[in-house]
Structure 1
Amino acid sequence: MGFTICYRFLGNQRVLECQEDQLCGHDAVYYALLHSGAELGNIVGTWQGSYPSMVEAAERSGVSNVLWHRSISHASPQGRKR
């Protein structure tokens, strides 16, 4: 199944699919940072492990409004009788 992560990078809406069984806020922000292509050299290590400090560091890199939800699976019907 997985998760859909939505975020803004430098004001532009971005969406990515993440194939994980579980996802927390830290994970979602980190995936958004990696996916965005933001320069990470200046922020890695600037957060103190707390979610608010990680969000603040991400926002300084241009990543904001990170939201995530479990993806909806669109399984195709099998064995359909006519």
Structure 2
Amino acid sequence: MITTVLAIKVLTRIAEDPQCIGRLVEQLGGMPNIPTPTMGGHIFWTNIANVKGWRLQQNIIFGNCRIIDPNNVRRAWGGETAMIKAFKSLE
């Protein structure tokens, strides 16, 4: 019962302010990553930078960021500041 109540509170908070997830991820910095194929991010992602086919993208709903390689594989994800720093190391 407590888990259901907590889940409802969390989902309500996300519905009221979707970018709260992005702010939380920003505080945590880079997150553990398993390279995962993506569809390129044409719907929910905005390209912030593109260097030699590598893309730094930001989620338009939640605000978290990710780095995608030229083969559309997610190589890193996390907060905006951490991902900008990681992306600059690719240049």
Q: TM-score range by the shorter chain?
A: under 0.3
Q: Which TM-score applies when normalising by structure 2? A: 0.23
Of Structure 1 and Structure 2, which has the larger fraction of its residues in helix? 2
